[in-house]
């Protein structure tokens, strides 16, 4: 066996053309290989320093193994919605691509490849993935597992979300009429006429609805979200402290609540049809498909009704769109956005709108408020007329009506 002078325990591996040394240091087994013996010595020295620094982990830890230690501490004090976000990002976008990589070997190119897989996705999703990866490697740096964060100087990019266009009055009336009497009615009105978020509408209890008073109102005190398995979780933890609020009811919402109260044996205003307990967000999506329509797979048949099959004997399927109750696109959050937009357009005080919307930061309310109130047609008309009539701004009224000078004949 070929050995190196001064390093009798170092072995030459002819098939790999590498020098190798195995050993144990303070109870930790190691195996180091390199093309030159000096490189093997350097690796052993680095490993010994690693152990001397008190690191409980071995230097061969993978990204997946480190995430298992990092994740529980990261999400310990987070709200269910945030935990759901981290769970989705880590399991769907980070572990599948670099989970088996040694954490010390992850390069910026690996992060670029993760982002390349998200080409065409929203900037929101891409930002969440990049920020989560940065947090993982920042924690690894603090624990002396890596020297440099491979996410540095990477940009999220992505497709920016299109501005939300609130429903017109005609669309609002059409939607309310279409869902009347269906199981989507109360959910629709709670979002459209009370501005509730989806999880707030699903978590609303009848005990928090007050219709037999002079001014009917409801208290937002609960939410219904879901765990990693999709099971509903009813909680008193709202998105923020500002989300705890009291909202007056409109006449239409009050009438619908009185009509539905007692029809179903449930403590929830919007219960699951199957269990009469809290409805999960997934079940809510299925319910909402009745409003907007959806595609379903049907068995393909010929003109005589015979089932069509492929060469393996499997029935062929064809996607068929089942129309919904309305012919325009609408989603639950757009109902809430429409509610806030209507408040802004009414000229209501911005702080009152912030309270009713449950916004923790008034900036979010102002973004909608200024867009709605400062770009209304009646306010833009004067500016447009002034610009295209070529009248300078601030011109005295008498000069605007003065006749132009006549050219000499």
Segment 8-14 shows an average pLDDT of 80
Provide the whole-model pTM.
0.67
- 63-142 maps to CATH 1.10.150: yes
Q: How far, in Å, CA of 132 to CA of 148, rounded?
A: 16
Return the pLDDT at 222. 95
Task: Calculate what percentage of the chain has a pLDDT beyond 70.
Answer: 88
CA 361 to the chain's CA centroid: 19
- Side by side, the strands of the sheet bearing 18-25 are 10-13, 18-25, 28-34
CB 64 within 8 Å of CB 98: no
Partners of 7 in the beta sheet? 4
Q: What's the whole-number average pLDDT of the chain?
A: 84
Residue 147 pLDDT > 70, yes or no? yes
Segment 149-164 shows an average pLDDT of 86
CB 64 within 8 Å of CB 99: yes
Segment 90-113 shows an average pLDDT of 92
> DSSP state, 240?
S
Q: Other C-beta atoms within 10 Å of 232: how many?
A: 23
> DSSP state, 381?
H
Which of these, 287, 281, 276, lies nearest to 206 by C-alpha position? 276
Span 67-83, pLDDT tens digits: 988 998 888 888 777 88
- The CATH number that domain 169-292 falls under is 1.10.443.10
Return the pLDDT at 395. 53
Tell me phi and psi for residue 229, to 5 degrees: -90, 0
Q: How far, in Å, CA of 46 to CA of 28, rounded?
A: 13
Residue 382 pLDDT > 60, yes or no? yes
Span 308-359, pLDDT tens digits: 888 788 888 888 888 899 999 899 999 999 999 999 888 889 999 999 999 9
């Amino acid at each position: 066996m070929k050995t190196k002078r001064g390093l009798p325990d170092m072995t030459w591996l002819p098939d790999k053309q590498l020098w190798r040394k195995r050993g144990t240091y303070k109870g930790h087994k190691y195996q180091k290989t390199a093309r030159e013996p000096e490189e093997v010595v350097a690796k052993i020295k680095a490993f010994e320093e690693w152990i001397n620094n008190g690191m409980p982990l071995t230097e061969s830890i993978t990204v997946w193994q480190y995430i298992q230690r990092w994740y529980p501490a990261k999400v310990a004090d987070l709200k269910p919605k945030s935990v759901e976000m981290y769970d989705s990002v880590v399991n769907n976008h980070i572990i599948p691509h670099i989970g088996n990589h040694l954490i010390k070997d992850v390069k910026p190119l690996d992060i670029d490849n993760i982002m390349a897989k998200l080409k065409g996705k929203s900037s929101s999703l891409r930002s969440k993935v990049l920020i989560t990866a940065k947090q993982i490697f920042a924690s690894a740096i603090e624990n002396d597992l890596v020297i440099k964060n491979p996410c540095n100087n990477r940009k999220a990019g992505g497709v920016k979300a299109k501005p939300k266009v609130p429903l017109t009055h005609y669309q609002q009336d059409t939607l309310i009429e279409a869902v009347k009497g269906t199981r989507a009615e109360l959910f629709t009105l709670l979002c459209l006429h009370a501005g509730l978020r989806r999880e707030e509408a699903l978590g609303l209890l009848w005990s928090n609805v007050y219709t037999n008073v002079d001014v009917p109102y409801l208290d937002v005190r609960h939410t219904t979200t879901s765990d990693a398995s999709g099971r509903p979780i009813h909680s008193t933890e709202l998105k923020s402290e500002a989300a705890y609020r009291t909202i007056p009811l409109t006449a239409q919402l009050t009438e619908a609540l009185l009509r539905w109260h007692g029809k179903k044996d449930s403590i929830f205003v919007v219960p699951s049809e199957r269990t009469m307990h809290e409805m999960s967000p997934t079940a809510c999506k299925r319910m909402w498909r009745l409003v907007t329509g959806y595609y379903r797979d049907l068995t393909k048949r010929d003109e005589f009704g015979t089932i069509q099959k492929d060469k393996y004997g499997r029935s062929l399927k064809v996607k068929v769109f089942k129309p919904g109750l309305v012919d325009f696109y609408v989603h639950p959050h757009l109902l809430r956005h429409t509610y806030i937009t209507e408040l802004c357009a009414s000229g209501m005080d911005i702080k009152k709108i912030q309270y009713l919307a449950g916004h923790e930061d008034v900036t979010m309310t102002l973004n909608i408020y200024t867009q709605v109130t400062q770009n209304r047609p009646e306010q833009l008309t004067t500016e447009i007329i002034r610009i295209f009539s070529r009248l300078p701004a601030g011109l005295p009224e008498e000069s605007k009506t003065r006749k132009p000078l006549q050219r000499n004949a």
